[in-house]
Amino acid sequence: MIKIYYKICVDFIVKSKDTNEKNWKFATIMYLSAFLGITLMSVIIILEKTIPSLNYLLFGHKIYELLYNQKLAAVLFFFFPALIINYFLLFYKNRYEVLLQKDKPNNGKYIIRFMIFSILLVLICIFV
């Protein structure tokens, strides 16, 4: 599973370097974190819908209820963990250089599939 995510990341890094020459690291980590956060949020929602007793185990809703702003709660619970995961998987000790040598980019096909998968997962959560 991590190999697939690395292929997505390599594809994203190459495309980001082509379009954002100066800020490619920032753009890469923000977009990947956003879509990983959306995927994480969708998986959590699906788990909470299928196993109702799981919601107190995952987040401790007392903390979630204290945050009045739901956007702030979403950023804290979904975006920041995805940001930290992406930082350590890609940019800690310049790991992206090793990944770029090891894996070949696939001209954006993995990026598009990952984005479509993330958006479809959100739509499934909304309409089911």
Give the count of beta carbons closer than 10 Å to the beta carbon of residue 40. Answer: 19
- pLDDT digits (tens), the chain, 128 positions: 899 999 999 999 999 998 888 899 999 999 999 999 999 888 888 887 888 776 655 555 555 555 556 677 777 788 999 999 999 999 999 999 999 999 988 888 999 999 999 999 999 888 87
Rounded to whole angstroms, the Cα distance separating 39 from 120 reads 9
The first and second tokens of residue 14, run together, are 């190459």
Is the entire prediction scored with pTM above 0.85? no
Closest Cα partner for 13 from 1, 2, 5, 25? Answer: 25
SS3 of the chain: helix, strand, coil, percent, to 5: 85, 0, 15
Task: Assign 3-class secondary structure to 10-71.
Answer: HHHHHHHHHHCCCCHHHHHHHHHHHHHHHHHHHHHHHHHHHCHHHHHHHCCHHHHHHCCCHH
Q: Which of 82, 116, 104, 92 is nearest to 6 (CA)?
A: 104
